[in-house]
Amino acid sequence: MTVLRYLREVERLVGTKEGCAEGDCGACTAVVATLENGSLRYQAINTCICFLGMLDGKALITVEYLATREGLHPAQEGFIHNHATQCGFCTPGFVMSLFAACHDDCAGNRQSIDTILAGNLCRCTGYTPIINAAAQVLQDKNRRRPFAARAQGIADLLGKIAKGDGLTLSGNGSSYIAPPTKAALAKVLLRYPRATLLAGGTDVGLFVTKQQRTIETLVDLGKIRELRRISRSRQGLRLGAAVSYADACVDLVKLHSELATLINRLGSVQVRNLGTIGGNIANGSPIGDMPPALIALDARLRLQRGSEYREIALEDYFVEYGRQNRRRSEFVESILIPATRPGSFFRVYKISKRFDQDISSVCGAFHFAFDKKSRKIASARICFGGMAGTPMRARACERFLTGKSWEQEVIAEAGDILQTEFDPISDWRASAGYRQRVAGNLLRRCFVESKARQPLQLADREAAIHA
């Protein structure tokens, strides 16, 4: 059962709405609170693709709970004062996204507001008063005070819940299992090799809401601390398979600053709060946004079966469409992303119909290392998503570029070679011809940005390309 269905059908709390049932529109947004180091952490989530078992040990806050005896919450007041509600269907979701932001260190500038609200859609299209409401609320230094007493009550209750226990639920021929440790997970998968693994649910949730599937055995990784661990070493950054995008973002951007824009365009705040990098890899999608970037960075994957481990290059995990290099009862344990090499240049670009909340038509990642003396290309790693049945490297183009000078004529010839490497399909996101042309243009854009020593702004694009 999804959290949204539970709220509406069991608790009869109908302020939380179903709009899309796939985590896109934000009408179902509620806030999950967890106790971390004695304080509450608030995260907006899409309840339509979150399973009820995922809330074990957490608190769920809905729009009905915001008002106190003293009055409405500032997020609600801001919508009233700025006339930000129209038909009203999407309003509770917007309010809950704003509520979560009130209790975070979110700035009240336009860029932050756009990020916070990108996961909520208004079908009446009146975004200006909504943005004004958000600005008013987030610029109020006392925005947290009205909820302070309730927050303390939630923290006290969460503190009384036993920690470290697993969870097993059974009924109607299905089982929901949340092992407490990695060792327990390994045993569960040896017993249930065909189980569906659940990390954040941003894909698995759609199995139920869109495909109407009944999952016989669902194994939730959310309680396993070892899989949510982030560690740094001389080798680079290691992320446990259940680390969410929200939790990984700061460390990933420290390692490679170019990942910031890509992560910010991956879903929405709600999606990044639940979605995991390990899940994005494990499901083997040819249009997942992170694999092309991580393959270009020469990331490696650690897999586990029982007590046995093996490590492979990330690119070797993707065999063909719908088939991955994962053995029976094996699971993705962690991802290692190498540290930045001196003298290297990295760029990743996502091309989609919408800027926010859209799936890639093409995602291209480029990683070049240069010889210190000659300044020629010492190594090249180029990977695309959306160009084949799996994320795929442009190996012929890489071989051509290695040892060459980093000059416009060389890049032009490399772009021609790139056109012969892929045989993409045409679908509703893009035609095959468009995808091939974009792939070459992204290589040219990478070259222009390397010369400019800064990312190319859209307003400067035409002048820079023709310079």
**Beta strands at 323-324 and 196-198: parallel, antiparallel or unpaired:** unpaired
Banded model confidence at residue 460, pLDDT cuts 50, 70, 90: very low
Q: Is the pTM of this model over 0.95?
A: no
Closest CA to 393 of 316, 326, 445: 316
Distance (Å) of CA 396 to CA 329, 380, 404? 35, 11, 14
Banded model confidence at residue 455, pLDDT cuts 50, 70, 90: low
Domain assignments of the chain as residue spans, ordered by start: 3-159, 167-226, 341-467
- pLDDT value at residue 330: 97
- pLDDT value at residue 456: 59
Residue 231: which residues within 8 A CB-CB, separation 6 or more? 237, 238
Instruction: Give the tens place of pLDDT for each residue, 266-306.
Output: 999 999 999 999 999 998 888 889 999 999 999 999 999 99
Closest CA to 58 of 235, 272, 223: 223
Banded model confidence at residue 394, pLDDT cuts 50, 70, 90: very high
Tokens of 227: 């899989």
DSSP string, 96-122: HHHHHHHTTT---SHHHHHHHHTT---
What is the Cβ-side half-sphere exposure of residue 462, based on CA atoms within 13 angstroms?
A: 1
Distance (Å) of CA 180 to CA 219, 238, 243, 433? 11, 21, 15, 49
> Which pairs with CB-CB distance under 8 Å and at least 24 residues apart come from 453-456?
455/261, 455/347
**25-57 in b/e burial notation, b at 16+ Cβ within 10 A?**
bbbbbbbbbebeeeebebbbbbbbbbbbbbbbb
Class for the domain spanning 341-467: alpha beta
CB count in 10 Å sphere of residue 17: 22
State whether the Cα torsion 47-206-119-299 is positive or negative.
Answer: positive
**360-391 in b/e burial notation, b at 16+ Cβ within 10 A?**
bbbbbbbbbbbeeeeeebbbbbbbbbbbbbbb
Q: What is the CATH number of domain 3-159?
A: 1.10.150.120
Tokens of 136: 């008013």
Distance (Å) of CA 459 to CA 116, 154, 348, 353? 24, 48, 19, 18
Banded model confidence at residue 69, pLDDT cuts 50, 70, 90: confident
- pLDDT value at residue 270: 97
Q: Which CATH number fits domain 167-226: 3.30.43.10, 3.30.450.20, 3.30.365.10, 3.30.70.20?
A: 3.30.43.10
Instruction: Give the tens place of pLDDT for each residue, 98-149.
Output: 999 999 878 889 999 999 999 999 989 789 999 999 999 999 888 888 898 8
End-to-end distance of the chain based on CA atoms, in angstroms?
57
**Beta strands at 217-220 and 196-198: parallel, antiparallel or unpaired:** parallel
Q: Report the SS3 class of residue 303.
A: strand
Give me the percent of the chain exceeding a pLDDT of 90: 84
- pLDDT value at residue 35: 94
- pLDDT value at residue 454: 63
